Structure 1
Amino acid sequence: MTALAVAASGTSGGRRVAAIPSWAPVAVAVVAASATAAAVVDAAGPVRVVAVLVMVSFAPGLPVVALLALPSRAITIMLGVSASWASWLLLSLGQVAGGWWAPVPCAVLVTAVSVVAAYVAVRSGRVNGARAARVRVPVRRWDRWRVAAVAALVGAAVLGWWETRVIDLDAAGPYGLIAVVGWRMFAALAAVAVAFAIAVGRRRLDQPVAGAAVALLVCLLYQLVGVADGSPVVSTGFVHVGFIDYIGAAHRLPPSLDARFSWSGFFDAAAVLVDLAGLPDAAPLLLWAPAVLAAFAALPVFTIATVVTGGRRLAWIAMAIYVCGNWFQQDYFAPQAVVFVMHCAIVATLLWMVRSAPIPRLEGTLGQRISTAIVRVPGLPPGIGRIQALLLELLLLFIAAAMVVSHQLTPVLTIATLTLMAAVGCLRQRCLPLAMGVLFLLWLSYGAPDYWTGHLHVILGDFGKVGSSLQSGLGDRFSGAAQYRRMQGVRIAWSGSLAVLAGFGWLLYRRKPSAPAVAAVLLAPFTLVAAQSYGGEIVLRCFYYALPVMAPLATLGLYRLYRRLGAAAFRRGAPVLVLTVAVWCASVLGVTTRGLNTAFERNPADLAAAARSLLDSVPDGTTLLPANGEGVLKQGRLTTVVWPQGGVCSVWTLDCVESFAADYILLSTSQQAALELQWGAPHGWLYAFGDQLVAQGRYRVVQRTPHALVLARTPGR
């Protein structure tokens, strides 16, 4: 087995494997020093932005984790990224909470730690590349199949870019994106499927091409609408820009403005990042956030898939299923997307340890097996000593602490996952869920009192009401236009089929020693249904959280069904053909499900610009009425303009508009589509209502663009 294979799987049959190369921590230290120097001299340009982003993602975590000399390159890198993010989250939170705004000194500290850690790691030989197991990595030759696969990927990229230039997103309706994409998109998906099948389905696995195919699939599925519009999807990202803008200007949190500020770690760190990068605000980070965050999530998800499937070939298929099945739109520029990567890194590390470590077998009666499972403790994986294990546990707790201060739901999931793993005897770090639970309660009590003070009846009101949570998460989604309701059924059927396949896959996997741990990771997200409805999103979040392990289990189920075809399944060319068709069908389903809400989730560039222009022009104290309460109109001026209390007009009437007495109203085609598809409003009704306000002399038109209508109150009205 090659060193590359060993590093990807994290196991090697007991042999110590190569850690990260010696140049990696040195390069991180150099980039951190360069980014800090650029911030000190206030250099301008994209190089500074990229250097700061690299520093925030890899320093000081990667050099520090390298000191642990973990026998897995994948685990080292993913923990290095998570530890770096955790460091910046906690350091930034400390700056804001302590009233000492110092991004540059913070960067100097991170750089110093990175330099020292890199020096010690290289000097001590901890990153010299597997002294105990030097394995030569063979160079993959460029045969005709690889050339064909790469050519297919190049063609797919060209077709995808062409599609972004010609697609008519304004025509998106109840059927979503799938109804407006042209032949170029279907051809691009087919080309990606062919390249992926050639890389994975032939006798020799071609990992670089498989990785490139998955990366291009992410871009096609996750970035098409944003690139075509020249503006990011999901308007909540603009709200986060407004939060970050306030923190960066005031260097503190606004008092009791939004419950999300009770978990402000992400917003604090983003404000520090914007300051160090010399950006005017965080808006430039929004467009490509889904693809970038998917790239960071890829390594832990691939590691989980390798642990579950037992090989890299099936793990790559699981990655394709994961990408196509992730229609939940939770990977935009938001706290949950960052913390989700950290959660996956923790889970991947623990599953890797369980898969590699000796675990006492469960024997005897059912009662004896249960009692043994509760108290059993897995051994140490090969290549990890007791000191390493203790330091690794402290590192995981450090990452968990940063999660606790950055998001309200994901840490609960991590605690539930670790608790279930401990209950089935598959967690060596048995104090970890308890320690994380204590941190969560401490932060909830002292760091987030604005969230729960006076609202305990709301927070605890859904506890145990599984039926209510299911109704708000599933039943309430079947509303609005008839065609839109049917398409929601496609979404649920797609995720439900993956869940059924995952259940079948676990039955095939159940005799493995790590099967209880995998079951714990799969089931833990669904325990959240009994605790909170989470504003009607809890069922969606459950599938989102379970997908990293659901996808590889579904792959096992699909592979078993494929093997039932007998000898025909393994005839020459059959795996490539079947994979091509399967990946193309899954990708089309990905476009269908992820792009269903395109009509009202998109934020065209002229809409974002109209909102920015309005915010830049109105005086302090101006009352603004956005069409949907949040979105592009909240990308700035968080406390200097007045937002209506009590929400916005769910039913737009003259009385509703008059009750808010707004100085300006922003209407958009996106909100009009939401009213039509989700609430059954007549086509064009919202804009017609705006024209009615103008015709009656109540408001006048300030700006009209293809996707935005800005109205100003008529003086004296």
Structure 2
Amino acid sequence: MTGLGLLSVLPFSTLAGLALLGVGFVGSLSLRRPHAWLLGIQLVILVLFLHGITVLVESEPRFPITWFHAGFVDFISRTGTVATELDARWCWPGFFALAAFWLGSGRLSTLSPVLSLAPVLSNLLYLGALALIMSAIKMSLQARWLAAVLFCLLNWIGQDYFSPQGFTYLLYLVFIGIVVKWFSSLERTVNRHCKPARVWHWVWQGSSSGELPSAPARPAERVVLLAILVGLFCAATVSHQLTPFVMVMSVVGLIVARRCTLTGLPTILIVILLAWISYMTEPYWAGHLKDMVGSVGDVSGTVSSSVVARASRGSDEHQLVGQARMLTAGLLVAMAAWGLLRRRRHGIEDRVLLVLVAVPVGLVFMQSYGGEIAFRVYLFMLGPACILAALSFFPDPESRPTALARGGVGLCVLALSFSFFVTRYGNEQFEQISDGAVAAVETVYSLTPNGGRFLFVSPHIPGDTPFIPVGYRDVERVDWDRLDAPIEPADVTGLVDVMREGGPGTYLITTRSQENYLTFGSGYPPDWGTQFRRAMAAAPGVRVVVDNPDASVYTFDWRPGQTPKPFIPPTTGVQIRRTPWTPVGVAFLVMALSLLGLREVWRVCPTRNDPRWLRLLTLAASPVLAGFVLVIAERFVVLTT
């Protein structure tokens, strides 16, 4: 495998089969009467082909971070609680607790099939949620099926694995689908005193709404749907740091664009989000305040760390992968913009889709998110952007697509099908996990039943993740630390000294994936891994514990009688530090959610929508909200000084 990843090793017959699948889909789409069952089968096969091919060609689940998450599930399954001292992600444990509940065990033998199949299952569920969103848009059947295929071909972001982001992204799509399906508004009034509103009215005057009217629902059904929306948001809030913010921003954007009737919902969501951050994630923000707010507003720095730095590191082939990703992202935005213009020419205004594409861009003003914020912006805008891209080919919801449009679809699908293996699997050299690496790590686990320490080498990149399958069990007993990889592979003296100072139970591990990351992803010499292993094996006082083509493990040859450092179990359980006003804040929280929830229930029931009661509930909730905000501020000041 070269720096182009999986594409460099797939046989010609596999790529030819992919081309035939694309041609077959365009042919099915061109039938005079579309057959949903035929298109559905082809779509499922495409998902299995694109997102499940690694299940056939690789024996272990992809992504080292997947193995970390397995360790979190294992810990909760064994202990029934969390340990916020070990990792910041323990402050958002909802996904891991749910996985432990569903699977009943955190053992690798139980988790392994789920870890391997997660991308396929996730993408199939994403398509169902995307169909819910499209059911509220005026578009032809051909456009709907094409949008689904484009979503499969352009979802190279790699967040659909066994992760909180993959889980909460599904919640986000369902959340948006419910809002635009049952709580949409087709109001077209414009505030003529607002200059942007006047410009909007001038651009879209004479056009009809691109959304369908809200689906009919009885008052009780609307209350249930409102409760589901709040439940989805709560599940996302306790599982992921970023997704709840996008949910709030999307609802606010739709309300401002006069496409959502739930005008009081953002207040409820913000109260829930502030409460979770203030009370449940305090172990993280109290000690990492600089990391959280240091890059707020630094758009140029955020874009540089997320896009420029990633696209300019490593070998020429690795840079080509980054450039291909940028190119496909730019192509998606261009097709979405062209879709908006073509719909405008047909007299249709797609206000909802435009809001949902534009809102995630606001994330770049928040923080760099470890240099990954550009990926998350692309992820959250992907669904609505694919719908607009499909509308660029089939803008008219009524007329039959032209032969030229169908030909353009065929070329686009074929080009994106082959580019997918570069954008999605271009980094497979170091993202794959091998049997030998798993066996090496398991050997170290067997040698350190009372706790140990892994050392690994990587470039000097803050927060760099080891491409090693560590942490899948005993996360509280085994630690891992990063060391700077020497440019000269024979210069291992400093690494040996660190290993010696660590004492018994300290092991340095290197894997083929980690070495490929240095070579292809960071510009180290091509034979760096071979020379490094040779130098480590020959270093004085170093003993080779494991040596196979996939991984090698080294430790220091300790004198007899030396024992490892005693294992100190971490503090477990939910840790909520109290301030003088913390209990009062909890009372304010309960009252605020009760009053705001009752107010919104009253609003969504047309038969009870009495303005007097709404004003009364608003007046009752205002002082309670003010008190809640003051307690949040008090906790922040007290716990950070």
TM-score (norm 2): 0.77
CA contact (8 A) 1:606 1:706 kept: yes
2:356 paired residue among 503, 511, 521: 521
Answering whether residue 556 of structure 2 is matched by residue 713 of structure 1, we say yes
Contact 2:52-2:117 within 8 A present in 1 as well: yes
> Bigger CA drift: 600-609 or 466-475?
600-609
**How many residues end up aligned between the 2 structures?**
533
| 1:484 shift after superposition | 1.9
Shift of residue 588 of structure 1? 0.6
C-alpha displacement of 1:519 = 1.6
> Aligned residue for 1:649?
484
Distance in 1 between residues matched to 2:138 and 2:549, nearest whole Å: 49
Cα shift readout 1:107-161 (whole Å, capped 9, x = no counterpart): xxxxxxxxxxxxxxxxxxxxxxxxxxxxxxxxxxxxxxxxxxxxxxxxxxxxxxx
Deviation of residue 578 (structure 1)?
5.1
Deviation at 1:707, TM superposition (A): 1.4
Query: One-letter code of the match for 2:254?
Result: M
SS in 2 for 1:534: coil
Partner of 2:591: none
**Relative contact order higher in (CA < 8 Å, ≥ 6 apart):** 2
The structure-2 alpha-carbon separation of the partners of 1:309 and 1:640, relative to structure 1 and needing over 3 Å to count, comes to same
Residues 230 and 278 of structure 1, relative CA distance in 2, 3 Å threshold: closer
Distance 1:254 1:416 in 2: 31
Retained in 1: the 8 A contact 2:509–2:551? yes
Please tell me the residue identity of whatever aligns with 1:617. Answer: L
The change in CA–CA distance for 1:585 and 1:521 in structure 2 (over 3 A counts) is: same
Alignment of 1:158-177 (within 5 A): 171=1, 173-177=2-6
Cα shift readout 1:250-285 (whole Å, capped 9, x = no counterpart): 111124110001000011111222327998552331
Task: Provide the C-alpha distance between the structure 1 equivalents of 2:432 and 2:134, rounded to a whole number of angstroms.
Answer: 32
What is the CA deviation profile of residues 38-97 of structure 1, one whole-angstrom value per residue up to 9, with x for unaligned ones?
xxxxxxxxxxxxxxxxxxxxxxxxxxxxxxxxxxxxxxxxxxxxxxxxxxxxxxxxxxxx
Aligned residue for 2:238?
Answer: 405
Change (3 A) 1:583 1:408: same
State the alpha-carbon separation in 1 of the partners of residues 439 and 54 from structure 2: 17
Question: Aligned equivalents of 2:537 and 2:317: distance in 1?
Answer: 33
Q: Which residue of 1 aligns with 2:28?
A: 199
Q: 1:353 aligns with which of 158, 182, 190?
A: 182
- 1:700 match: 543
**CA distance in structure 1 between the aligned counterparts of 2:179 and 2:496, rounded to whole angstroms:** 54
What amino acid does structure 2 have at the position aligned with 1:242? G
> Do 1:362 and 1:369's aligned partners in 2 also have CA atoms closer than 8 Å?
no
Shift of 1:373: 11
SS at match of 2:549: coil
- The counterpart of 1:365, out of the listed 170, 180, 192, is 192
Kept after mapping to 2: 8 A contact 1:626/1:648: yes
Structure 1 counterpart of 2:330: 496
Q: What is the CA-CA distance between 1:539 and the residue it aligns to? A: 0.5
For 1:239 and 1:314, the matched residues in 2 are separated by 39
Q: What secondary structure does 2:473 align onto?
A: coil
Kindly report the root-mean-square deviation, in angstroms, between the aligned alpha carbons of the 2 structures.
Answer: 2.9
Of Structure 1 and Structure 2, the greater helix share is in 1
Residues 407-449 of structure 1 deviation map (CA, whole Å, 9 limit, x = unaligned)? 0011111111111111111111112222111111100001111
> Which of residues 596, 600, 613 in structure 1 aligns to 2:443?
613
Q: Structure 1 residues 476, 193: CA separation in 2 closer, same or farther (over 3 Å shift)?
A: same
Q: Give, in angstroms, the shift of residue 548 of structure 1.
A: 0.3
The 1:213/1:606 distance shift into structure 2, 3 A limit, reads farther
Partner of 2:382: 547
Question: Partner of 1:664: helix, strand, or coil?
Answer: strand
The answer on whether the counterparts of 1:227 and 1:287 sit within 8 Å (CA) in structure 2 is: no
Counterpart in the other structure of 1:507: 341
- Structure 1, 396-405 or 599-608: larger mean CA deviation: 599-608
- 1:625 aligns to what SS in structure 2? strand
Extract unaligned runs of 5+ from structure 2.
202-210, 459-464, 563-641
Q: Are 1:328 and 2:157 counterparts?
A: yes
Q: Mark the CA change 1:610 to 1:212 in structure 2 (over 3 Å): closer, same or farther.
A: farther
Q: Superposition pairs for residues 111-150 of structure 1, below 5 Å?
A: none
- Matched with 1:105 is none
Partners of 1:263 and 1:408 within 8 A in 2: yes
C-alpha change, 1:474 and 1:664, in structure 2 (3 Å) is same
- Equivalent residue in structure 2 for 1:188, among 2, 11, 17: 17
SS at structure 1 position matched to 2:543:
strand
Given residue 429 of structure 2, which amino acid in structure 1 is its aligned partner?
A: A
| CA gap 1:280/1:512 in 2 versus in 1, 3 angstroms | farther
Q: Distance in 1 between matches of 2:94 and 2:217?
A: 32
Measure how far apart 1:176 and its partner are. 2.0
Once the two structures are TM-superposed, the CA of residue 226 in structure 1 deviates from its matched residue by 3.7
The answer to whether the 8 Å contact 1:235/1:632 transfers is yes
Counterpart pick for 2:91 among 234, 244, 262: 262
Structure 1 residues 589, 649: closer, same or farther in 2, change over 3 A?
same
| 2:476 paired with 1:639 | yes
| Alignment partner, residue 282 of structure 2 | 449
Quickly say closer, same or farther: Cα 1:495–1:679, change in 2 above 3 A: same
C-alpha contact (below 8 Å) 2:455/2:483 kept by paired residues: yes
> Are the equivalent residues in 2 in contact too, given 1:373–1:425 (CA < 8 A)?
no
- Structure 1 runs (4+) deviating above 6 angstroms are 276-279, 371-374, 511-514
- The 3-state SS of whatever aligns with 1:286 is helix
Measure how far apart 1:456 and its partner are.
Answer: 1.4
Unpaired stretches in structure 1, ≥5 consecutive residues:
1-170
Equivalent residue of 1:425, what SS? coil
CA distance in 2: counterparts of 1:619 and 1:363, whole angstroms: 68
Read off the aligned partner of 1:690 and give its amino acid letter: R
Residue 386 of structure 1: how far off its partner (Å): 3.0
Residue by residue over 1:388-412, the C-alpha shift from the partner in whole angstroms, topping out at 9 and shown as x without a partner, is: 2232112211111111000001111
Structure 2 distance, partners of 1:532, 1:416, is 15
1:451 shift after superposition? 1.5
Question: Counterpart of 1:671?
Answer: 514
- Alignment partner of 1:251 is 2:94: no
Q: Distance in 2 between matches of 1:474 and 1:402?
A: 30
Deviations 1:485-543 (A, max 9, x none): 13311110111111111112123345878722222111111100000100000001101
d(CA) in 1 for partners of 2:100, 2:124: 22
> What's 1:587 paired with?
417
Q: Which residue of 1 aligns with 2:144?
A: 315
In 1: Cα distance, 2:82 partner to 2:305 partner: 32
Distance 1:364 1:249 in 2: 58
| Contact 1:521-1:549 at 8 Å conserved across structures | yes
Partners of 1:440 and 1:233 lie apart in 2 by: 32
Q: CA deviation at 1:385?
A: 2.7
The aligned residue for residue 366 of structure 2 is 531
What is the distance in 1 between the residues matched to 2:106 and 2:507? 34
1:369: how far off? 8.5
1:239–1:351 Cα change, 3 Å: same
1:180–1:278 Cα change, 3 Å? closer
Residue aligning to 2:583: none
Equivalent pair of 2:71/2:106 in contact (CA under 8 Å): no
Residues 147, 387 of structure 2: 8 Å contact kept:
yes
Query: Kindly tell me: are residues 513 and 449 of structure 1, through their superposed partners in 2, closer, same or farther at Cα, counting changes over 3 Å?
Result: farther
SS of 1:204's equivalent? coil
Is residue 28–residue 39 contact of structure 2 (8 Å, CA) maintained in 1?
A: yes
From 39, 59, 62, the equivalent of 1:230 is 59
TM-aligned CA distance change 1:277 to 1:233, over 3 Å:
closer
Q: Residue type matched to 1:362 in 2?
A: T
Paired with 2:526 and 2:139, the residues of 1 have a C-alpha distance of 52
Structure 2 CA distance for aligned equivalents of residues 621 and 302 of structure 1: 48
Question: How far is the alpha carbon of 1:545 from its aligned partner?
Answer: 1.0
TM-score, scaled relative to structure 1:
0.70
Deviation at 1:650, TM superposition (A): 4.3
